[in-house]
Amino acid sequence: MGSLTAENNIVLSADDKDTTLADRNTHATRVAGLGSDPEKKALFASVTKRIDYTPKFGTELHGIKLSQLTEQQSEELAALIAERGAVFFRDQDDLDYKEHVKLGKRWGPLHVHPLVPHTQDNPEVIVLDSRLSPPSRFNTNDSWHSDVSFEPAPASFSILKFEEIPEAGGDTIWSNGYQLYDDLSQPIKTLLEGLTATHSSDIFKILTQSSGRKTFGKLNDSVHPVIRTNPVIRTNPVTGWKSVYVNPVFTREINDLNPIESKWILDYLADLVSKKLQYQIRFHWKKNSVAIWDNRSTYHTGVPDFRPYHRRGVRVTVSGEKPFYDPASGTQAKAWEVTAKAIVAKQEATEKANVEKANVAAQDTASATTA
């Protein structure tokens, strides 16, 4: 057993008998959400209120209890998350560690994090407690990233619940990788679609050396971090849409470019992620709120503005498929054209009906006055 904080039942560090990451983190054998009902009738039958944060990105659902989802509802939810990037829920007090793990396992094998503390009986449930990570240590959440993109099986979905929240601050922001791709000029798209990038866990080596904390399994080797090559442009297997798949925390270089070119492009993309407000949504946590997001097409960062208050969350991360790029895959922008036309048509029909209603009311008033 690694070291514990008995009061909170948290495992802080590994022992020397832990298995390697390759043993503990495997690829998903299927794609959750693929082929589910596009109208998501089973899921929305339980929804009492839907709030879309922007037309394309982010949705909050009310009336859903995640611990009570049927298999069909969970598949439709996986598809909705892939489409909307992130989906949010309130008042999930009954989503305990067991149910948290159960929900994640419906979508694939669960990841065991190499560094972040986990609950004693559930190594897949990591603990994000600000009291365990003062400002000078383990503060990687300040930076935009997609979870564990260096892994052989990078994260598909992450499911985060906050049990304790600060009195002020502590929001999380997400950025839309689909829209980032869609807004790039065609020459830049063409360049990036033929490239791969190196993702590395070396930041954890730096953090462990500065703190003295041991990591779980393979990352105890401080000389050889886990390194993977992923496409710069990735196809989401559920939606079939292209997104940009590099991030400032784990992506080290774009392969086949010289260092200056690689740095310029990575800095440019990171700048778009962090500064383009039209790509972003912001979630204000309440106790027992849950956020679920798709790491294949989004980036996120915690906002470190809540100290001296504390917050504590628990997260389950689902291991996904090996990242791939399909040149024939589509885009969110193209798919959105159909939805946008339907929205415009509905608005026009509503406006027409309102005008007709107003005309009828005016005629009735005129008739009453004449009489």
Question: How do 122-129 and 155-164 pair as beta strands?
Answer: unpaired
Residue bearing tokens 């396992």: 105
Q: Which of 113, 118, 145, 228 is catalytic?
A: 145
Question: Which helix H or strand E contains 150, and what residues bound it?
Answer: none
CA distances to 112, 114, 121, 300 from 130, rounded to whole Å, are 20, 18, 21, 17
- List % helix, strand, coil for the chain (3-state, nearest 5): 35, 25, 40
Burial code (b: 16+ CB inside 10 Å, e: under 16) for 297-311 equals bbbbbbeeebeeeeb
Residue bearing tokens 């999380």: 172
Q: Which of 234, 296, 300, 311 is catalytic?
A: 300
Give the Cα separation of 300 and 282 in Å (integer).
10
CA distances to 99, 263, 302 from 282, rounded to whole Å, are 26, 28, 10
CA atoms within 13 A on the CB side of 231: 21
Please give the single-letter amino acid code of residue 72.
Q
Q: In the annotation, is 145 catalytic?
A: yes
Closest CA relative to residue 25, chosen from 226, 233, 229: 226
Q: In the annotation, is 315 catalytic?
A: yes
Q: What is the DSSP string of 206-232?
A: HHHHHH-PPPSGGGG-SSS--EEEEES
Do the Cβ atoms of 76 and 33 come closer than 8 Å?
Answer: yes
Q: Which of 129, 147, 182, 294 is catalytic?
A: 147
Helices (H), 117-258: 177-183, 186-193, 202-211
Q: Please identify every residue annotated as catalytic.
A: 145, 147, 300, 315
